[in-house]
């Protein structure tokens, strides 16, 4: 399992980013959320974080996979 790269943000913001990734936030959305927390993040770093999140958590969590698939199909 690949660990997401550190983003230099506080725990509460990190939890919110992880939650939003489960529901399909874009790399730009992740970068905006992180930047609102007074950190600096570019889209490429945000995309690397999303990729690592999916390769790690989706590989080990059927519930997360099912939730993501459901919302993709429902276009929520």
What pLDDT digit, counting tens, does each position of 57-67 carry? 666 677 777 87
Q: In 3-state terms, what secondary structure has residue 62?
A: helix
Please report, for the chain, the start and end positions of each structural domain, with discontinuous segments joined by +.
11-74
Give me the residue label for tokens 């919302």.
Answer: 71
Provide the phi-psi class of 38: left if phi over 0, else alpha when psi is between -120 and 50, else beta. left
DSSP symbol at 14: H
The model's pTM is: 0.59
What pLDDT digit, counting tens, does each position of 33-43 carry? 777 655 566 78
């Amino acid at each position: 399992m690949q660990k997401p790269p550190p983003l230099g943000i506080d725990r509460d913001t990190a939890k919110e980013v992880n939650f939003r990734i489960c529901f399909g936030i874009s790399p730009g959305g992740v970068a905006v959320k992180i930047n609102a927390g007074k950190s600096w993040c570019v889209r490429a770093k945000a995309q690397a974080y999303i990729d690592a999140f999916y390769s790690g958590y989706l590989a080990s969590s059927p519930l997360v996979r099912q939730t993501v698939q459901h919302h993709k199909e429902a276009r929520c």
